[in-house]
Amino acid sequence: MYPGIVNYLLFNKSAYTQQEMKVYKALEAYKQATCGWVRNAYARQYNNNVVVIGKVLHSQRLNERCLTPWIIANEDGVIQCGHCDCVAGLGEACTHVCALLFFLIYQ
């Protein structure tokens, strides 16, 4: 799964811009995932895809309600897309989406 996360964060093309995402700030997301910022995650299977939805603490405002990042992966674990309800969430790879991905590895 880890190579899949690296592929998604660095080399996957955005559905909107068709440019590689090149998310190099994944270290912050790794810290969030390993320090308990991801509160929970659950998965549902739809046809040949798996949707994973999580609850992650805000990175800027800790007193706010948790954010809800989600990802879609196919049955082979290849990540198709990800989004979040934070300000940067439409970029498909905010730190909350990345934290959810790392959380899946270490749980």
pLDDT in tens, 53-105: 999 998 777 788 999 999 999 888 888 888 999 876 666 678 898 899 889 88
Q: Could you state, in order of their start, the residue ranges of all structural domains in the chain?
A: 2-106
pLDDT in tens, 36-50: 899 999 999 999 999
Q: What is the pairing mode between strands 70-74 and 38-46?
A: unpaired
Full-model pTM: 0.75
